[in-house]
Chains A and B, each alone.
Chain A
C-alpha cells in the first residue's frame, strides 16, 4: 500500500469519520430513534401547554426560548397548573416526529444555508468547508430535533474559522447575522466539539486540486486554458457538491478531487489516473526488489502489474461513484434549487413539523448552556467541600466518588453528581441540575 494511504488512515478523518453508506444510514437511524424516545419521554413527563396559543408563535428562536425556559425551571406553580390543565383536558398526545430521511433533507437544507452565509462573508474555502463538514458530522450522532440546526450552523461557521487558524471576535461575528448574539454562538461550541469527537483537522480536496493542476501542466501537452477552465469549474464544485452530500464520509479527499475534476473535464481526470497507474508498476517493482530479494524479478513484476490494474479499476470505480454522488448536487443548486417554490413546498412542512417535535429541554442552547454551567459550579463547590472535610471523612468521600463514577458511567443523563447537588437543588430555584422534566 502506498505510503500516503497509510498516512491518511492515521488521520481522524479516516479513523473516526469515514463510514460506508450502510453504516452511516444506520448511525442516523439510531440517532433518530434515540431522539424520538428521549423527546417523547420528556414531553410526556412534562407536557407543553395546550397547542392553540403555542402554535401561533412562529419564529423558531424566540418560540424555543419561551418553551424551554418554561419547562426548564422547576417552577412549582407552572407545574401544578400544567398538571391541572392536563387532568381537565384530554391526555397529551405526542407530536409526529421527523423520519431519518426528513432529518437528512433538513440537514441538507441547513448545509446550504451555511454555505450561503459563508459565501456572504466571503470565507476562504477551507473554513467554509470545515464548517460544513462539522455540521454534518455533528448531526450524524445528534438529531436535528434535539439541537437547533439554525443555531448550530452559526456555531459551525465560527468554529470552522477557528479550526482553520483564524479567531474572529465572537460578538463581531454574531453581528453579521440577523438577531444573533455572541452568547448564542458560543452556547453550542462545546456541544459541537463533543459532537465532532474533537477531530478538528479536516482534510479537504482543494490543495489536491492545485496539485492535479500542476501535474497536468507538467505533462506539457495539455492546453493551459483548458486546464484553467477545468480547475475553476472543479473548484466551484468542491465548494458546494461534496459539502451538501455525504462525500466526505465515504471518499478520500483525493477521490473527491478526482471526481470533481472529472465532472469538470472527464478527459483530464482520466489522464491524471492514467499517468499515475501507467507509471505505477515500475515503482512497485523497484520497491519489491529492494525489500524482498527472495522474490524473483519476473514474479514481482507480474504481481505489480496485476495489483496495479486491480487497484486502478477500484480507484476508477470509487471516483465514478463519487462523481455520481456529486452530480446530484451541482453548484447551481445553491441559488436555483433552494430558492424555488417547489423546494419551499418540501422544506416548509418539514420546518413546521420540526417546530412541533423538537426537544423541549435542549433546543434552546443558551438556556441549556446556562443550566450546565450552574450545575458545574455546584459540583465544584461540592467537591471543595468534600476535599476540605479532611481525614475522618475519607470514607464518605470515597463513597461519594463511587456513586459519582457509577452513575456517570452507567449513563444517567445529567445524573452522576453525588448527593450534595441533589440537596442543593431544593435550595436554589435557578437551573435544575436534572433539567426539570426528568426530576
Chain B
C-alpha cells in the first residue's frame, strides 16, 4: 500500500472533537492549566515545620496528563496475582457500568535493562491496533510507585483453551468452530495488515469477551515486520504452534509463521487435543515430518539451506494427502479440511495468507458460522481465567498443567547496529 499524501494539513488534523474517540485522547490543550504565580515574596521559611499549609507545587504537564488518565478509572478488587503482573477489576469513574481489567506490571527484578521487552512490545503494538478481534488497550498510565498500568478490555469468559479442553462440559459444533476461526483470522489479518507479527498464537491467548467475541491477546512477543536483510529471532512462538521454518532456524520470515499457528489452533479445535504436542524442538520437528510431511527440496525449494536442516533426519515421510486429513478432520467438511491443509503447508511461501483465509470458501459454505451470542460459553470461572491469562504474559512463570509452557523467549538481541 503506497503512502497516501492525502492526510490534510494540521489545522484540520487537530479538530478539538475527535469523532473516533475509540481511545481516550486527552489533548493537553483542552484543559486550562492554572499557572499560579510563584510566591516571589521570598519569605524565609518558618523555623518550626508547620504541616502542609504551603500549597504544593503544581504538577508538570506530563504528570497532569497522566493523572487525568488515571483518574478516569476506579480500581476494584484484585483478580489475580503473578510474578509479572497483578490484575484488578476496574470501572470507569464516569460510568461504572463500563468495566475493564487493569494489568499492573511489576518492576521486574530479573530484567536489568529497564522496561522489560514483553511490556514494551505489548504496549507498543496494542496502542496502535484497534480491531474487534484484538484485545483493546484502552489506556496506559503510571502509578505513583512507578508501575505501569494497562487498562484492558474486560473479557470475563475465559479463553479458547478452556472450551477446547473441557470436553465434558462444553460441546461445540462445526458452525461454532467456523465462528471462532473467522474471528481469529480477522484478528490475525488486522495484525498483518498493520505490519505486526504476533508470534505467540495459541488457544490460551485467544480470550472471549462478554458478548462471545474472540479476541487475540498477549502481544508480549509481537514485533513489526522487519526490513529486508535484518534478521529476526527464530526462538518465538510456543513450540507446539511453531512453524517448521522457525524450527529449522529461519531468521527472515513473514506473517506465514502466524498462519501456521492458526492452523494448529484450527486442528486443535476440531480434535480437541493439541495437534502437534512435541516435547522439545527436535521432537516437534519429528512430529511435523510424520503428520504433515518431511520438508524436502521438492516441496520446499532451498529448505536445505536453513541452519537446522540437519535435524530433519534421513527418513522422508511424504506430504500427507487430503484423505489423510479427511480421516481426522472430516467434522469441518471438505472445505474446512482444504483450508486446514493450506494453513499447514510446509513451505511458508506457499502457505495461505490471512487475507487468503478470509476469502476461503469454507467461510461461505454451509453451515453458517454461529452468531456470537449463541456460541458455547463459560458459565463460571471466566474472570479468574482472564486474570490468569492477562497476568501470565511472561511464560517462564508457572503454567498450571504445563500446556504451552515450552515457549522459548530467548530472543536475539544482537544486530543493534547496521
Which residues in A have their C-beta under 8 angstroms from that of B227? 207
**Residue of A16, A200, A317, A414 touching B120 (CB-CB under 8 A):** A200
Beta-carbon contact of A14 and B5 below 8 Å: no
Pick from B5, B35, B415 the residue with the most CB of A within 10 Å. B5
Besides A166-B416, A198-B141, A257-B3, 14 new A-B residue pairs in contact (Cβ under 8 A), listed by A number: A5-B6, A30-B35, A35-B60, A45-B54, A159-B114, A162-B117, A170-B114, A182-B112, A197-B65, A197-B66, A254-B4, A375-B145, A409-B67, A413-B63
- Provide the A73-104 mask, 1 if CB < 8 A to any CB of B, else 0: 00000000001001100011110000000000
Q: B33 touching A30 by the CB < 8 A rule?
A: yes
Q: Is B57 an interface residue (CB 8 A)?
A: yes
Whether the pair A5, B7 counts as a contact (CB closer than 8 A) is: yes
CA–CA, A169 and B114, complex, Å: 10
Choice from A21, A83, A143, A186 contacting B44 with Cβ under 8 Å: A83
A123 contacts chain B at the CB level, 8 A cutoff: yes
Closest residue of B by beta carbon distance from A308: B6
Given the known inter-chain contacts A19-B10, A41-B57, please indicate yes or no for A201 contacting B127, CB distance below 8 A: yes
Question: What 0/1 readout, one digit per residue, does chain A (185-228) give for beta carbons within 8 Å of chain B?
Answer: 11001100111011111000001100110010000000000000
Q: Output the least CB separation between A236 and chain B (Å).
A: 15
- CB-CB under 8 A from B117, the residues of chain A are 162, 167
- A166→B4 contact, CB < 8 A: no
Neighbouring A residues of B4 by C-beta, 8 Å: 2, 4-5, 254, 276
User: Which residues of B have CB within 8 Å of A5?
Assistant: 4, 6-7
CB within 8 Å of A: which B1-55 residues = 1-11, 13-14, 18, 20, 22-23, 25, 27-29, 33, 35-40, 42-45, 47, 49, 52, 54
Whether B14 and A4, one on each chain, are in contact in the complex, defined by CB atoms closer than 8 angstroms, is no
Given contacts A141-B60, A194-B142, contact A186 B127 (CB under 8 A): no
Which residues of A pack against B, CB within 8 Å? Answer: 1-2, 4-5, 7-12, 14-16, 18-21, 23, 26-27, 30-31, 33-38, 40-42, 44-46, 83, 86-87, 91-94, 121-124, 127, 138, 141-143, 146, 158-159, 161-163, 165-170, 182, 185-186, 189-190, 193-195, 197-201, 207-208, 211-212, 215, 250-255, 257-258, 273, 276, 311, 314-315, 317-319, 321, 372-373, 375-376, 379-380, 408-409, 411-417, 438-439
Query: In the complex, what residues of B have CB within 8 A of residue A45's CB?
Result: 45, 54
When the two chains form the complex, which single residue of B2, B25, B61, B67 contacts A211, counting CB atoms closer than 8 Å? B2
Q: Cα distance A9–B120 when bound, in Å?
A: 22
Q: B39: which A residues are within 8 A, CB to CB?
A: 40-41, 44
* A165 and B223 contacting across the interface, CB-CB below 8 Å: yes
Q: Give chain A residues whose Cβ lies under 8 Å from the Cβ of B114.
A: 158-159, 162, 170, 185-186, 189
Given A91-B44, A198-B127, A408-B67, is A379 in contact with B29 using a C-beta cutoff of 8 Å? no
Q: Which residues of the other chain, B, contact A37 by a CB distance below 8 angstroms? A: 35-38, 57-58
Task: List the 3 closest A-B pairs by CB distance, nearest first.
Answer: A376-B145, A40-B38, A254-B3
Question: Is the C-beta of B64 less than 8 angstroms from some C-beta in chain A?
Answer: yes
Separation in Å of the A25 CB from the closest CB of chain B?
Answer: 11
Instruction: Judge whether B413 and A167 touch: CB under 8 Å.
Output: yes
Q: Which residue of A lies closest to B124 (CB)?
A: A200
Chain B residues with Cβ under 8 A from A255's Cβ? 5, 7
A92-B42, A142-B61, A375-B145 known; A4-B6 Cβ under 8 A: yes
What chain A residues lie within 8 Å of B211 (beta carbons)?
A: none
A142 contacts B3, C-beta separation under 8 Å: no
Asked if A416 and B144 make an inter-chain contact with CB atoms under 8 angstroms apart, the answer reads: yes
Give 26 pairs: A residue, B residue, CB < 8 Å, sorted on A.
A2-B6, A18-B14, A27-B28, A36-B38, A37-B37, A94-B42, A127-B416, A162-B120, A166-B413, A167-B411, A167-B413, A186-B114, A193-B115, A194-B62, A201-B127, A212-B3, A251-B10, A253-B3, A311-B6, A311-B8, A317-B9, A376-B147, A380-B145, A408-B70, A408-B144, A416-B144
Please tell me if B312 contacts chain A, counting CB pairs below 8 Å.
no
Flag whether B224 is at the interface (Cβ < 8 A).
yes
A11 CA / B22 CA spacing, docked (Å): 11
B379 surroundings in chain A (CB, below 8 A): none
- Is B146 interfacial (CB-CB < 8 Å)? yes
Min distance, Cβ B61 to any Cβ of chain A, angstroms: 4
Instruction: Write out, one digit per residue, whether chain B residues 401-418 have a CB within 8 A of any chain A CB (1) or not (0).
Output: 000000000010101111
A419 to B410 alpha-carbon distance, docked (Å): 44
Q: Which residues of A contact B49 (CB under 8 A)?
A: 439
Closest Cβ of chain B to A410, distance in Å, is: 9
Contacts A199-B127, A415-B56, A416-B144 known; A258 to B45 CB distance under 8 Å?
no
Among the listed B1, B6, B128, which residue makes an inter-chain contact with A315, where contact means beta carbons less than 8 Å apart? B6
Asked if B113 is at the interface (CB within 8 A of a chain A CB), the reply is yes
CA distance A182 to B223 in the complex (A): 25
Find B18's partner among A15, A162, A372 (CB 8 Å cutoff).
A15
Binary flags per residue of B129-150, CB closer than 8 Å to A gives 1, else 0: 0100000000011101111100
Residues of A within 8 A of B20 (CB): 9-10
Cβ contact within 8 Å between B60 and A208: no
| Contact call A12/B14, Cβ cutoff below 8 A | no
Interface code B369-391, partner A: CB below 8 Å = 1, 0 otherwise? Answer: 00000000000000000000000
Which residues of chain A come closer than 8 Å to B5, judged between CB atoms?
A: 252, 254-255, 258, 273, 276, 315, 319
Contact between chains at B115 and A162 (CB < 8 Å) = yes
Tell me, yes or no, whether B123 is within 8 Å of chain A by CB.
yes
Q: Which residues from chain B contact A198 at a C-beta distance below 8 Å?
A: 123, 127, 140-141, 148
Known contacts A168-B413, A408-B144: A194-B66 contact under CB 8 Å: yes
Q: Do B71 and A193 touch across chains, with their CB atoms under 8 A apart?
A: no
State A169–B194 Cα separation when bound (angstroms): 29
Q: Which residues of A have CB within 8 Å of B52?
A: 415
Closest residue on chain B to residue A80 by CB atoms = B47
Contact B10 A250 (CB under 8 A): yes
Q: Assess whether A411 is in contact with B146, with CB atoms less than 8 Å apart.
A: no
Which residues of chain B are within 8 angstroms of A186 by Cβ–Cβ distance?
113-114
Known pairs A37-B38, A200-B124, A254-B7; A31 contacts B45 (CB<8 A):
no
Complex contact A44–B38 (CB within 8 A): yes
CB pair B10–A190 under 8 Å, yes or no, is no
Using A1-B6, A375-B144 as known contacts, say yes or no to A34 and B14 having CB atoms under 8 A apart.
no
